[in-house]
Amino acid sequence: MPKMNLAEFIRVVPAIAPIAGGSARSGDWVSLKGYAGVLILVHIAMGNAATTAITVDKATDVAGGGNSNGIIVNRVFKETGAIGAAITYTEVTAAASFTSSATGSGQDVYLLDVRADEIGDFDCVQVELGASNASNIVAASYLLYGPRYAGSPVGGFPIDATID
């Protein structure tokens, strides 16, 4: 079996650095030009029983031009549980917005899969996390997958995901 280096197949782009969830947070826009899609990874460490809204927007450029809010995400998986416990993801029904749990402890982890061919004439996306509570720590990352060009994202990949 050939060994696979995951870093040669995905590009990790920070969206929202870990921060208190007391205010709404908008991730950077990321371009899907050169990629088949993006898996958006959202972490919410629950310190308070307050929910967090999760949405994904699309645009025609990384400046947010032609923005369309709240696109429907067809493939979403969620895990809610104690931090450090075994992770078991469940599939979530497709929607334009998702709401985290309100347990007050543990964590929510969301995987939102957006394929480039599903967003029409748009080629950029942005994750947004609604205001929650300052005791909840939120974070998000973009995992761009299916590079259309040869090369390793960590060794000089020819596409900068944050620039059109």
Residue 124 contacts residue 62 (beta carbons within 8 Å): yes
pLDDT at 162: 60
Tell me: pLDDT of 159 over 60. Answer: no
Nearest to 139 by CA among 19, 53, 48, 11: 19
- Hey, what amino acid is at 95? A
pLDDT tens for each residue of 103-133: 888 899 999 999 999 998 999 999 999 999 9
pTM for this predicted structure: 0.88
How many angstroms separate the CA atoms of 112 and 93, rounded?
11
Q: Does the pLDDT value for residue 57 go beyond 50?
A: yes
Is 92's pLDDT higher than 50?
yes
What is the total residue count of the chain? 164
> What does the pLDDT read at residue 158?
43
Q: Is the pLDDT of residue 156 over 50?
A: no
